[in-house]
Structure 1
């Protein structure tokens, strides 16, 4: 690829080169995001439409910030953190990513296994073990591209179905316009769902993963225009349309017609009733299946990426240590099939928990982008203001989620979330404070160990 020809490429040439953010977008448009959008529409009607729109905008901005850092450093995020901030910060980032991605891995596998069971009548636990073996063999062998293509085709079909259903599902335009006014309905419950929606687009796993996929493509600062095009098509257009269409269909078809508290995937499938008839439930389940396959494959890559990067291994299957780490991560995900409860509500929780870990990684990216020893071309004022806005909103929603968890009493889950949030909160304050102190003193080190 000729880097210096990037700016003169035609739209068709740029489209054929789409890559890193398309993969991130496929992960973002996964079952957890679908669940959050469906639950939001079924629970509050159009009230959270503004969050859906903001999530696409903020998701694109977060991916651009991450890509800009990767283009400048030509390395993964953990390697950059270790080089500029130190080993302790790198290990903290690894722990943050592994915990958030690991929790998501289990629930997404539960979704995949449960949906497979619903579609076939075979025990979901058997499906979980089977999918884990297929996942391990496919990823460790480097054959994920074909599986990913098939999964994206299924997800794309469901996206088209939701967009098409906008023409037949009644949409109250007046009520929908009211959803453009920023409000959080129902207090803590609304904050949890809002955090879930935002967490689908602004999530620690896809922000971190972006640096490794950009590196794998071999892109440099000369490919900045291609990266912007990639992000615009993948996150702003594809993911944005998917999110808005899914939300509007759910709000129009489910709000007031189903019990949002006990919503199941089968009930949510009725959102497609106007265009799918008696096959609505199976079509919705097939969409969840495809989304789960593509998301699970991408999510499985993230923990091995950061661990291998920290240990100084190659982040591709040419390194046998990375290959075994990848296979082990895939096999361990089988445990998700043995988790009880309804996966639809658990998927919303996955994104909300990921929101707790996201402000820290956003702070890391912003600090490094504004460190002259890391990036020669620092972000302009508007880009920094946008990044700070994403960080602020993610922090507020993360705080609301933690407060909501504690409001229900201190349990093992809420206690774990509290500890996780406190550690990352303190680390974020120290990181930003150290960076500002260094800038004010005229130093060049991002953070001193």
Structure 2
């Protein structure tokens, strides 16, 4: 028994030290947009959306697991696999989907980082935008993937511990929390629910995974390690992070018109007069990690589509990474309250995600790929497609009912294009199956 225990403990320690790729996805997921969605959900709907929060952790882990399978079994980046087995048009649609979703998110996240930096230091947010752009160029284009991975693991661990500690000083209504596990969608909750799910099941997280595993040199031989990586980061760490923030918010916040400073002041009883600064530092830390992780995603896909290398050893990729980092600087000039912007950005990710899930499922079941997906994994993937598609549809219906501004109108148009592409892809798969039968 002692020998078996020692072996098990040694395996756990080995896995913990070797983990990494999925923790970058976890760092992006556990970012300011997710935090904003969770805070908004708790403040407006009390415990009613707890089921969405719990679902998001399982859905996020499942999405990363499917992406992990595709990456390991093909040992290629997802764009190259799509181009080979579906054609160049589908590859470009996927690249465009990711670049738009990640690009808009990058601008809003930069706005968050610079707004928080300006509030803490008193230095103009636009100057902070230039400074953070330079930091991104030097850190990412200079040091590459492993710098992002190490930072992600440290930050996610610290943030999870901080929010778990907060649960011990908040009075949680366990009865109402239990009722919140029953799936219901209150009026006006579609956007927030889409934001919560979009934080965990996001097209950038799904598409980046094959590239981060390649950066580590993982192959099919590392399947068990990669699976443990997904479960530890997305299901456990991200799940605890999300549930803790939501329960704290639902128990203490009552203002439906939250601002970043307003949320900090409302959380004041938890940590006393330091609440504002602790909240802003936490929000800023989450934003910085997400900003760094999100920066590497579009260059991965664009470089792969152009046939370039996807590490900083390839000068072309390095320059592409630096260019995307520089293009994030205008986010500092957006202005406005970031919480509402962050929720809408996650909703944008949600409407783009069903297409990415459909792509992964198609490839995992395509005879030409040879990935041989299991029935259980397929059922989980279809459930994931149905849930993400349903929330995206609810968001679109809610926007039609309430009217559009420029940003929500663009999200609506984006949703329609990708919905059409998803339906065409599913139809193509059905036709192929009928032909083979």
Aligned mate of 1:432, from 426, 434, 437: 426
Alpha-carbon separation, structure 2, partners of 1:162 and 1:250: 11
Q: What does residue 301 of structure 1 align with?
A: 296
Is 1:130 matched up with 2:131?
A: yes
Aligned mate of 1:399, from 380, 388, 393: 393
Query: For structure 1, which segment, 221-230 or 242-251, has the greater mean C-alpha deviation from structure 2 after superposition?
Result: 221-230
TM-score (norm: length of structure 1): 0.92
Residues 369 and 12 from structure 1, CA distance in 2 versus in 1: closer, same or farther, beyond 3 angstroms? same
Is 1:67 matched up with 2:61?
A: no
Q: What per-residue deviation string (whole Å, max 9, x for no partner) do you get for residues 46-78 of structure 1? A: 000000000000000000000000001101110
Aligned mate of 1:361, from 341, 356, 359: 356
Residues 381 and 76 from structure 1, CA distance in 2 versus in 1: closer, same or farther, beyond 3 angstroms? same
Alpha-carbon separation, structure 1, partners of 2:315 and 2:145: 17
The secondary structure found in structure 1 opposite 2:298 is helix
Alpha-carbon separation, structure 2, partners of 1:330 and 1:120: 23
Alpha-carbon separation, structure 1, partners of 2:10 and 2:80: 31
Residues 221 and 29 from structure 1, CA distance in 2 versus in 1: closer, same or farther, beyond 3 angstroms? same
Residues 29 and 59 from structure 1, CA distance in 2 versus in 1: closer, same or farther, beyond 3 angstroms? same
Is 1:14 matched up with 2:15?
A: yes
Is 1:174 matched up with 2:153?
A: no
The secondary structure found in structure 2 opposite 1:69 is helix
Q: What does residue 40 of structure 1 align with?
A: 41
Alpha-carbon separation, structure 2, partners of 1:184 and 1:147: 37
The secondary structure found in structure 1 opposite 2:366 is coil
Q: What does residue 416 of structure 2 align with?
A: 422
Alpha-carbon separation, structure 2, partners of 1:145 and 1:115: 26
Q: What per-residue deviation string (whole Å, max 9, x for no partner) do you get for residues 180-213 of structure 1? A: 0000112xx2000000000000000000011111
Q: What does residue 346 of structure 1 align with?
A: 341
Q: What does residue 247 of structure 2 align with?
A: 248
- Where do residues 191-270 of structure 1 align in structure 2 (5 Å cutoff)? 191-254=190-253, 256=254, 259-260=255-256, 262-270=257-265
- Deviation, 1:418, is 2.5
Is 1:85 matched up with 2:86?
A: yes
Alpha-carbon separation, structure 2, partners of 1:387 and 1:268: 36
Alignment: residue pair count: 430
Q: What does residue 447 of structure 1 align with?
A: none
Alpha-carbon RMSD across the aligned residues, in angstroms, is 1.8
- Deviation, 1:119, is 0.5
Residues 271 and 220 from structure 1, CA distance in 2 versus in 1: closer, same or farther, beyond 3 angstroms? farther
Gapped regions of structure 2 (runs ≥ 5): 1-7
Q: What does residue 3 of structure 2 align with?
A: none
Q: What does residue 446 of structure 1 align with?
A: none
Alpha-carbon separation, structure 2, partners of 1:368 and 1:138: 34
Alpha-carbon separation, structure 1, partners of 2:301 and 2:263: 36
The secondary structure found in structure 2 opposite 1:231 is helix
Q: What per-residue deviation string (whole Å, max 9, x for no partner) do you get for residues 70-117 of structure 1? A: 001101110000000000000000000000000000000000000000
Asked if the contact 2:57/2:200 (under 8 Å) is kept, the reply is: yes
Q: What per-residue deviation string (whole Å, max 9, x for no partner) do you get for residues 392-427 of structure 1? A: 010011111122222233443233223211211111
Q: What per-residue deviation string (whole Å, max 9, x for no partner) do you get for residues 369-409 of structure 1? A: 00121134x22211111100110010011111122222233
Q: What per-residue deviation string (whole Å, max 9, x for no partner) do you get for residues 271-328 of structure 1? A: 6434421111111111111111111111000111111100000011111111111111
- Deviation, 1:215, is 1.7
The secondary structure found in structure 1 opposite 2:296 is helix
Residues 436 and 147 from structure 1, CA distance in 2 versus in 1: closer, same or farther, beyond 3 angstroms? closer
Asked if the contact 1:151/1:290 (under 8 Å) is kept, the reply is: no
Alpha-carbon separation, structure 2, partners of 1:86 and 1:147: 32
Asked if the contact 2:24/2:148 (under 8 Å) is kept, the reply is: no
Alpha-carbon separation, structure 1, partners of 2:274 and 2:252: 16
Asked if the contact 1:144/1:297 (under 8 Å) is kept, the reply is: no
Query: For structure 1, which segment, 159-168 or 327-336, has the greater mean C-alpha deviation from structure 2 after superposition?
Result: 159-168
